[in-house]
Amino acid sequence: MTNRLKLLSPSKIISSIDAIYAHFDLLPNLKLHMRRAASVGKLICNHWQENALGTEEKTVIVAALLVHDIGNVVKMDLKSADSKKMLGAEVKNLLHWKSVKEKCVKKYGFESHVATSKMAKEVGIPKSVLRIIQKLSFMENEACLASNDWVWKICLYADQRVGPFGVLSLKERYTDFKSRYKRYQEYEGAKGKLVLLEKAGFALEEQVLKKTDLKAEDIHERNCILNEDISANSFAGRQKKRR
C-alpha cells in the first residue's frame, strides 16, 4: 500500500477518490459499486426540492457513498463460483486479491464495518462522513426511517438501490440480498425481522423520493453519473431525466 493520505474535508475525499482506492488496492468491482451508489446519491441531490439540504450536506452524501464499503475487502469470498463472477476479468489475478485480503484482515480485522471505520480513519475521513458510513446497514432501516437525518436517509437508500453489478429496484435488491445471505435467514425470527426491515426500506424510499421530483423508476443505470461528474464536486440542480 502507498504512503498515508491526509484528507480533511468531504470535497477532498471526492476529488481524491482514485488515490483513496489506490491506497487500499481495492477490487475494481468494489470501486464501481461505491461509484454507482454515489451516483444514485448525487442524482437524488440534484433533484432535491426542499431547502433542508445545502451544498455541504450534498457533498457529505457523495463523499460517504464513495467510501462506504472500503472495508468489504476483508469479507471478499474468493473461493466460491459466485466469487469468480464478482471478480470478473480480475479472476486471472486471484492470487493477488487473496494477498490483498490477507493483508487487510491482518491489519483491520475480519469484520467489514469495523474494517471500514479503521480504514476511513487511516486516510483522514472526517467525522461528518464517518458518522454516516458507520450507520449504512440494512439492519438500520427502521432506525433511519424514524430519524430526521436526511443525509443518512439519502445515503442508506442510495446504497440499497445498488447491487453487485448495477442499479436495481428495491425489490430486486432485497431479492438479491436474500439469495446471497441465506444463512442469516436460518436464525430464529430472522425471516420476520427481514420482512420488517424490507417494509421500512420501502417506506424510506417513499420518504426520500417525496422530497424530489423523481420516481423510483427514474433511478437506473443510464440516469446515473459514474465517472468524471462524481469527482467534479458540483451539484447542477435538476437534471433532465433520461428514460
pLDDT digits (tens, 9 = 90+) for 67-111: 999 999 999 888 877 777 778 888 899 999 999 999 999 999 999
On whether residue 2 sits in a domain, the answer given is: no
Cite the beta strand spans of the chain per DSSP E: 162-163, 166-167
Identify the domain containing residue 95 by its residue range: 10-231
Helix axes 94-108, 112-122, angle to 10 degrees: 80
Residue 180 placed within a domain: yes
**Can you give the pLDDT at residue 50?**
78
Residue 241 lies in a domain: no
The position carrying cell 476529488 is 15
- Confidence class of residue 226 from pLDDT cuts 50, 70 and 90? low
237 found inside a domain: no
| Domains contained in the chain, number | 1
The answer to whether residue 100 sits within a structural domain is yes
Query: Domain for residue 239, yes or no?
Result: no
* pTM of this structure: 0.89
Report yes or no on 4 lying in a domain. Answer: no
Q: Does a structural domain hold residue 1?
A: no
